[in-house]
Homo-oligomer: A and B are copies of this chain.
Amino acid sequence: MSKFGEEWTRGYRDMLIEAGGRALADCNLHGEEIDALYVGTMAPGSLVGQEHIGALVADFMGLNPIPATRVEAACASGGVALRTGYLAVASGAHDCVVVGGVEKMTDTPGNEVASALGGAGDQEWELFMGATFPGIYALMARRHMLEYGTTREQMAAVAVKNHANAAKNKYAHFQNEITLDTVLKSKMVASPLTLFDCSPITDGAAAVVLMPLDKAKKYSEMPIEILASTQASDALALHSRHCMSELHATKVAVKKAFETTKLSPKDIDVVEVHDCFTIAEIMAIEDLGFCPKGQGGKFTEEGKTALNSEISVNTSGGLKGCGHPVGATGVKQAVEIAWQLRGQAEGRQVKDCEIGMTHNVGGSGATAVVHIMKRA
């Protein structure tokens, strides 16, 4: 991955080429051995006026004339690109696929990030009426507080834990620890969510190389096997859902992933979940089955999601600490899990790390993608 942050002098092509180059170097792969490229990115058209990012990156990486395809599912674009690349390898059509995720969000010409991100929800019924994403997640937070007694302190504990992890990750956007007070006393964005409940606007890219397992073993001493790759959809608009305090798509995707692998939440040693807002991580650990529904806040507050506790959640720092360049996030999650499974996570290594999971969400939950991985 590239170092996540504010990259004022770099665009889509520069950042993804850096991440892609590192992925290739990691497995001693040469460009001419690559069969296809999939790029997850959400809104380059709205943000910088550039579509066709797949071909753009293939061009500047010197990969022409291989097939290059952009995949989009809002903030789940990276995870869905990973799944699309995985299916392409499974199809037999391509034996060596590079999957990249990227987003350039700061310093965009129109400064219309909130508007572009609003396109992840139902634009006609939500964004046009003024409901930006912090507002939508604030509604979910209020509902969760009402139904389960979740507190502001519990939400803030998510941000504190993720900043603590990010402080140990040299690729993270924010490498500083914060306290509960930092979150609780920061500027209100959409009640009850304050500035530090929200993931930041970040630039960055991440990339992985996918091959059939037997081939991967020839290129890498520590290949990672994808055990399950599942995806589900839900209504874009919050008002169309049957429940505001859970993400149904997450539940469907993870159920299928556990059925496929015959695993259960207790088998997972490390998970990267989609904490675009602190309440999102609380809902995610519940919906993924790491704690009972409604207990996510308490579970977090008790430190059970901290590094090397009951379940290590967002060791990268998550979207909150590591940053959230939307199209990159789903791929970055896979990179972090790969590092953890290989024992390469440096100061934030999870002990005895055998099986990992990624969970990437699009919009306010209209898309969810889950991957389960282990050391091959």
Residues of A within 8 A of B (CB): 11, 37, 42-46, 48-56, 58-59, 63-74, 80, 83-84, 87-88, 90-93, 115-116, 118-124, 127, 230-236, 240, 248-249, 252, 362-363, 366-367
Judging by beta carbons under 8 Å apart, are B49 and A363 in contact? no
Closest 10 CB pairs of A and B: A67-B231, A90-B91, A51-B119, A55-B366, A45-B46, A87-B91, A65-B232, A52-B74, A91-B91, A50-B123
Q: How far is the CB of A371 from chain B (nearest CB, A)?
A: 13
Measured between beta carbons, the chain B residues less than 8 angstroms from A70 are 71-73
* Minimal beta-carbon separation of A254 from chain B (angstroms): 12
A231 to B: closest C-beta gap in Å:
4
A-B contact pairs, 13 of them (CB 8 A): A11-B124, A49-B127, A50-B119, A51-B120, A52-B72, A52-B362, A52-B363, A54-B233, A55-B366, A59-B233, A59-B234, A69-B73, A84-B88
Question: Is A65 a contact partner of B362 (Cβ separation < 8 A)?
Answer: no
**In the bound complex, do residue A367 and residue B45 qualify as a contact, i.e. CB atoms below 8 Å apart?**
no
A367 — which chain B residues lie within 8 A by C-beta?
52, 54-55, 68
The distance from the CB of A273 to the nearest CB of chain B, in whole angstroms, is: 19
Contact partner of A54 among B51, B67, B73, B249, CB < 8 A? B73
Q: Report the nearest B residue to A240, measured CB to CB.
A: B59
C-alpha gap A110/B367 in the complex (Å)? 28
Q: Which one of B52, B67, B91 lies within 8 Å of A119 (CB-CB)?
A: B52
From known contacts A65-B249, A69-B71, infer whether A236 and B362 are also in contact, taking CB-CB under 8 Å.
no
A234 with B119: in contact, given A52-B362, A240-B59 (CB under 8 Å)?
Answer: no
CA distance A115 to B109 in the complex (A): 14
- Taking CB atoms, residues of chain B closer than 8 Å to A65 are 232-234, 248-249, 252
Q: How far is the CB of A128 from chain B (nearest CB, A)?
A: 8
**B contact residues around A45 at 8 Å (CB):** 43, 45-46, 116, 119
B51, B230, B366: the one contacting A52 at CB < 8 Å is: B366
Which residue on B lies nearest to A67, using beta carbons?
Answer: B231
| A64-B234 contact given A51-B119, A87-B91, A90-B91, CB 8 Å threshold | yes
- Which residues from chain B contact A42 at a C-beta distance below 8 Å? 51
- Contact call B66/A233, Cβ cutoff below 8 A: yes
For A42, the closest partner residue in chain B by CB is B51
Across the interface, A74 reaches (CB within 8 A) one of B51, B84, B92, namely: B51
Specify which of B49, B73, B92, B123 is in contact with A55 (CB 8 Å cutoff). Answer: B73
Cα-based distance from A122 to B48 in the complex (angstroms): 11
**Closest B residue by C-beta to A116:** B45
User: Which of B55, B121, B124, B230 meets A233, CB within 8 Å?
Assistant: B55
- What is the distance, in angstroms, from A58's C-beta to the closest C-beta of chain B? 5
Could you tell me the distance between the alpha carbons of A27 and B31 in the complex, rounded to whole angstroms? 43
CB contacts (< 8 Å) of A67 on chain B: these are: 80, 83, 230-233
Q: Across the interface, which residues of B come within 8 angstroms of A43, CB to CB?
A: 45, 51
Q: Which residues of B contact A366 (CB under 8 A)?
A: 52, 55-56, 59
A358 to B89, CA, bound (A): 24
Measured CA separation A21–B71 after assembly (Å): 24
- The answer for the CA separation of A91 and B53 in the assembled complex, in Å, is 25
Q: Is the CB of A55 within 8 A of B362?
A: yes
- Please, how many angstroms separate the alpha-carbon atoms of A42 and B44 in the complex? 11
CA distance in complex: A80, B80 (Å): 15
Q: How far is the CB of A225 from chain B (nearest CB, A)?
A: 16
